[in-house]
Amino acid sequence: MAKSKIIYVCQECGYSTPKWLGRCPECGTYSSLVEEPVKAPPKAVQSARPGMGGEHRPAALKDISIQESHRKHTGILELDRVLGGGIVEGSLVLVGGDPGIGKSTLLLQMCLHLADAGVKVLYVTGEESLHQIKLRANRLGGHQGLMEVYAQTEVDRIEESILETSPDIVVIDSIQTLYADDIGSAPGSVSQVRESTARLMRLAKSKRHAIFIVGHVTKEGAIAGPRVLEHMVDTVLYFEGERTISYRILRAVKNRYGSTNEIGVFEMGSQGLVEVPNPSEYMLNGRPMGEAGSVVSCCMEGTRPLLVEVQALLSRSNFQMPRRTVSGMDMGRANLLLAVLEKKLRMNTGEQDVYLNVAGGIRVLEPALDLGIVAAVLSSFRNQAVDEKTVFMGEVGLTGEVRGVTHCPQRVREAAKLGFQRCILPKANLAACRDIPGVACHGVESVRELQGLL
């Protein structure tokens, strides 16, 4: 019998060492190394390599024939888009996200759609009972046709079952519950998660099943996050959002079969996730009209322009150190813009509390939002409402200059589509946007010019 050995594995990045260390030398996290027994030398590293077709010698690139991979449509347009146009045969997709965000719901909905369309689906769950899955599936509707459900956490059993029934699509919910017998450590540890994923990947590549793996992103140290798996899988999707806010964004952060610039927007309702085909409209829902401090700006979410409402509230401070509270944007960026306004427009906010917010719970880190923030602050400072049919976009630099933004015409078209009549944008982008019908574009070069346009 092989002598069992102990290694210490960082639960953040997967670094392993035979000696315990207080701090991981790879990722710098403290107290993240956990003792894990290994009976055999870890196979995970070898088996983690993609393309294990078992070829023994190199092949000439020109001689390799490919069939245009056939994609299966999930029945959920937003999901298809993020996947790059549907599910590719033999692909391994990781769906990550905070617990409770809706990963199981999304994948169950996908399975039900596929089963409806006659695709053979296997849903493996290690988190819920079959009874719970049935209840949820009933709630979500659909015919449940060729769908099989399996409550199992042992990788060997799951492999056997996949080989036996040969489903087209397999969902594993979640990777953290899986357990490979020959790895001594607990389910959810880096070694277990990696080995299970490696095995599933071999299966996906050799037998052309598409496999979806759910991975919870967890607070540091608790159980291995899906981050250690990102390099092993073909596609990584993250499901984001606040549990208290009903809309969710599905984002591709890696995709061997498509662009990573795509997002899908969903809303969690009583009957599962509903696609939001027009997110801008959704984001601007409930916007106050004719109120000072509310301004519309446009950011890009991947390749999609998204109109958002930026809100500013300035009020006289009762604190010695006036408050600066921002949500949905970068605090440093907001402070920088306030400093620019102070210096260039002599706008003294030193005795005012400043609250800034991007409505709808979305977080925008794109500099194109700058001009919107500046306009909202000015509007609140003067207590003067901004025309509600105007959109502001542009990056503001330290000297108060307004710099060009990417994809400007697309943003302006989105604004026109939603009935906006005026766009204040960087002068550098004006020529490209001048002829877009329905909106009048004004180019500005500095924040000073903005004053006269509000």
105 makes contact with Mg ion (CB under 5 A):
no
Cβ 410 vs Cβ 436: under 8 Å: no
From the number of C-beta atoms within 10 Å of its C-beta (0-12, 13-18, 19+), residue 223 rates as: buried
Which of 72, 73, 120, 136: binder of ligand TYD (CB under 6 A)? 136
Q: Name the residue with tokens 């019998």.
A: 1
Examine residue 105 and tell whether it contacts ligand TYD (CB under 6 A). Answer: yes
Q: How far apart are CA 229 and CA 214, in angstroms?
A: 11
Complete DSSP assignment for 105-121: HHHHHHHHHHHHTT--E
Are 419 and 387 contacting, i.e. CB atoms less than 8 angstroms apart? no
Stretch that binds ligand TYD, among 62-70, 100-108, 254-262, 364-372 (CB under 6 A): 100-108
Query: Which segments are annotated as binding site for ATP?
Result: 97-104
| 16 near Mg ion, rule: CB under 5 A | no
Single residue of 104, 197, 379, 380 touching ligand TYD by CB under 6 A:
104
Please pick, from the candidates 37, 99, 141, 288, the single residue that binds ligand TYD as defined by CB under 6 A: 99
Report helix, strand or coil for 46. Answer: helix
User: Would you give the binding string for ligand TYD spanning residues 45-84, x where CB under 6 A is met?
Assistant: ----------------------------------------
Among 16, 91, 104, 429, contact with Mg ion (rule: CB under 5 A): 104
DSSP 3-state of 42: coil
Q: Which stretch binds Mg ion (CB under 5 A): 101-109, 228-236, 299-307, 413-421?
A: 101-109
Among 37, 100, 118, 438, binds ligand TYD (CB under 6 A): 100
Q: Is 343 helix (H, G, I), strand (E, B) or coil?
A: helix
Binding mask 255-294 for ligand TYD (x = CB under 6 A): -------------x-xxx----------------------
Consecutive H or E run containing 336: helix 331-345
Distance CA 236, CA 215 (A): 10
User: Which one, 175 or 416, has the nearer CB to ligand TYD?
Assistant: 175
CA angle 81, 84, 85 (to 5 degrees): 70
Q: Does 244 bind ligand TYD (CB under 6 A)?
A: no
Q: Prior bond to 166 cis, omega within 30?
A: no
The span of 103-111, 154-162, 232-240, 439-447 binding Mg ion (CB under 5 A) equals 103-111
- The residues binding ligand TYD (CB under 6 A) are 97, 99-105, 136, 139, 268, 270-272
- The residues binding Mg ion (CB under 5 A) are 104
